[in-house]
A and B are shown apart, each in its own frame.
Chain A
Amino acid sequence: MINKVVFRKFLLIIVGFVIVFIFKLLITTDDSVSVSTNASFIKPISNQMLLITSAGQSTDTYILQDIANDLRLNNLFMPQATSNDLEDISAIVIVVAYSDIGLKIQEKSYENERLRIQQLIDDGHKASIPVVAVYLGGSARRGSKTNELLDLACSNADYIICTTDGNRDDFVGQIAKNNAITISFIDSINDLTKPLALVFR
């Protein structure tokens, strides 16, 4: 009987600690912002008209569109853009993240999505249109399909922006290093404005 009473009190203390810990985490804010880039200076890209598209059809694309609008960057938002949409485009911005539901909404298969991105990049290169690959998903979004899309988009990009959490295993960093591509790391999605402003001016 005494053991049960002691056990219950101990359990209540643990629950109390957990509640306090959770509230402490809730009320603390992290204002740190850091953007790290390669040593080489980022070559500016014309912001005349950006084509914002998605590789994987995730909702992250909409975040980048919103930020671009906030930065007053002229943009054409077409998550399913094809080579036919490259006319008068000064840069292609590809937001990479695989979304199963996003593809189902668009009634597209993963293979079709890959082919579309490959074609878009190839035609963009032919038209000398720079490609910027952006990954906002963090480590949670990383999976086999997202990695494939990252490999596809980043390997052929002129510039990469990636969250620090998304590069925890240095996957994107290695792609950038192997292909000698400038890469910027951001700690938070809201830090995206700085590298975007730097590259598109």
Chain B
Amino acid sequence: MQKLNSLPQKNLIFSLLFLLISILFPIATESTTFDIIVKIRFAIHSGDSGGLIVAAMISCILFTVPSMSLYLSLEYLGSIFKDKLKLTDFKYNILLFIIFVLVRWVLTQFYTVPQEPLSSFLGLAVTLILVYFSKYEQKAMMPKFIIAFQVFFFVQWLNVMPLFSIFNFGTSDISISIKIASIYLENTSVVNSIGVSFIIPFLLSSIMTSMNFRLNIQNSKIIEENYQRTLALEVMQNKIMDNRIYQEINTLAHDLKTPLATIRGLTSLLALNKDLNKLESYANRVDQAVVKMTDMISSFLYGTSRESIEVNSLIDYIRAQLPVENENINFFTEVDPNLPNLYVNKVRIARALVNIIENAILAPHTQTVKEIKLKVTCIDDNILIDISDNGIGIVEEELENIWLIGYSSKNTTGLGLPFAKQTILENDGLISLYSQFGIGTRVMISLPTQNKGVTYDEK
């Protein structure tokens, strides 16, 4: 709130500052106007056109500063009241123009300094048009400053060019003296040419400045819109992933039913069976079931937790979660002997691999029988799991999209592969997918072994 209140105060200070410059600058530079007259006299005597051009340049600057300062003063003032008056940009510019004219008229009544009203009004009109065209936000003064300087400077050249005398430009003492001297020195074409050399580039530059600011605004808006859309997309994707994790929890809850059923069955047997010899056996099995449940829950709750597990144990765990066997699907498993243990989060990795295998199962196929092969080998302290199928494969154009959350070509959630990839990466693994349309798909997963995992922990 403090910051907001200081902006109008700051603008008011700048407004007064520029108004003071507009009023005091001509008075402060009065000696410079004398120098201009001296230069003109010298040019007449010596025939030196260069001195006349210098005099013209100085006079342009002397006329530019007060007009530009007055405009900026009114803009700063206007920025304070525009929102309160609720004016459109067009009405605001008209009002500003009228106030500019009135203030200039008032100033001329109180002190006599060289004035060029026509060029000032023309400069103001062109500036307002270009600022309006730039569509820059009202409170930004830099675009107005840059445009105003270029416009007010080039219109002042109209005052010293004999070419534009017929349009009543250049009626002040200095401008007339310069033009008359140039006529006498027969270098009106030089003065006109120099004037045109300033007018055209500054005019074009001011137009391009306005266009650049306009494009900048448009680009900023586009970038902002894209940023908002990206944010919204990320939020949506996070929600989707949270939902996916919720589904996994559902699956976990489903998996917990098995050991719970085991415990229930055993406790029922315990109640019915009076044989004390079997009591220890049943108790051990109940304990095993409880341990299994505990491991499953811990593995899922603490996603980063890992354990050393046998490859065959993992494969069996996976097979137990696969959908009911279909006679049109042949599932082959080939596990190399003597594989080192894996060092992963068993429950999550198992769910990730189950997702991949389920994709293979659901993939359309042209052959009579679908074949899914699961091959496990070891290469350089990494367990390589190769899952391939003879489905119709994925077209090349879609391959880059398969890892995107929500992308699916089979009306599914499109979350399985992204979830699998995220899980494998979290376990320091790698996953890659190869597919050829009409032939099949192959997914290769690399997971760290216990040796690699221990080394990581030690680090």
Chain A interface residues toward B at CB < 8 A? 19, 22-23, 25-27, 29, 58-60, 62-63, 66, 99-102, 104-105, 136-138, 140-141, 188-190
How many chain B residues sit at the interface, stated as a range, is 20 to 34
Nearest-neighbour CB distance to chain B for A134, whole angstroms, equals 13
Q: Report yes or no: A101 in contact with B44, Cβ–Cβ below 8 A.
A: no
Chain B interface residues toward A at CB < 8 A? 30, 33-34, 37, 40-41, 44-45, 112, 114, 163, 165, 170-171, 173-174, 176-177, 179-181, 183-184, 186, 189, 192-193, 196, 200
Q: Report yes or no: A26 in contact with B193, Cβ–Cβ below 8 A.
A: yes
B40 surroundings in chain A (CB, below 8 A): 59
Q: Report yes or no: B45 in contact with A138, Cβ–Cβ below 8 A.
A: no
Q: Report yes or no: B181 in contact with A66, Cβ–Cβ below 8 A.
A: no
- Report which residue of A19, A23, A60 has the largest number of chain B beta carbons within 10 angstroms of its beta carbon: A60
Docked CA distance A166–B244 (Å): 92
Q: Which 7 A-B pairs have the closest CB atoms?
A: A59-B177, A62-B44, A189-B184, A140-B176, A63-B184, A62-B41, A59-B40
Docked CA distance A137–B30 (Å): 23
Known: A140-B171, A190-B186. A22 touches B196 (CB 8 A): yes
A138 surroundings in chain B (CB, below 8 A): 165, 176, 180
Q: Report yes or no: B177 in contact with A58, Cβ–Cβ below 8 A.
A: yes
A60 surroundings in chain B (CB, below 8 A): 177, 180
Docked CA distance A13–B392 (Å): 62
Q: Report yes or no: B192 in contact with A26, Cβ–Cβ below 8 A.
A: yes
Docked CA distance A192–B37 (Å): 22
Nearest-neighbour CB distance to chain B for A186, whole angstroms, equals 12
Nearest-neighbour CB distance to chain A for B59, whole angstroms, equals 11
B37 surroundings in chain A (CB, below 8 A): 59, 99, 101-102, 105
Docked CA distance A17–B242 (Å): 67
Known: A26-B163, A26-B189, A26-B193. A136 touches B180 (CB 8 A): yes
Nearest-neighbour CB distance to chain A for B46, whole angstroms, equals 10
Closest to A11 in B: B207
10 A-B pairs whose Cβ atoms sit less than 8 Å apart in the complex: A22-B163, A60-B180, A66-B184, A137-B176, A137-B180, A138-B180, A140-B165, A140-B179, A189-B180, A190-B183
Nearest-neighbour CB distance to chain A for B183, whole angstroms, equals 5
Docked CA distance A66–B180 (Å): 14
- Report which residue of B45, B180, B183, B196 has the largest number of chain A beta carbons within 10 angstroms of its beta carbon: B180
Q: Report yes or no: A59 in contact with B165, Cβ–Cβ below 8 A.
A: no
Q: Report yes or no: A190 in contact with B184, Cβ–Cβ below 8 A.
A: yes
Q: Report yes or no: A101 in contact with B180, Cβ–Cβ below 8 A.
A: no
Q: Report yes or no: A63 in contact with B193, Cβ–Cβ below 8 A.
A: no
Q: Report yes or no: B170 in contact with A140, Cβ–Cβ below 8 A.
A: yes
Docked CA distance A141–B181 (Å): 13
B176 surroundings in chain A (CB, below 8 A): 137-138, 140-141
A22 surroundings in chain B (CB, below 8 A): 163, 192, 196
B189 surroundings in chain A (CB, below 8 A): 26-27, 29
Q: Report yes or no: B34 in contact with A101, Cβ–Cβ below 8 A.
A: yes
B44 surroundings in chain A (CB, below 8 A): 59, 62-63, 66
Q: Knowing that A26-B196, A59-B37, A59-B40 are A-B contacts, what are 7 other residue pairs whose CB atoms are under 8 Å apart, sorted by A's residue number? A: A19-B200, A26-B163, A60-B180, A62-B45, A63-B44, A66-B184, A138-B180
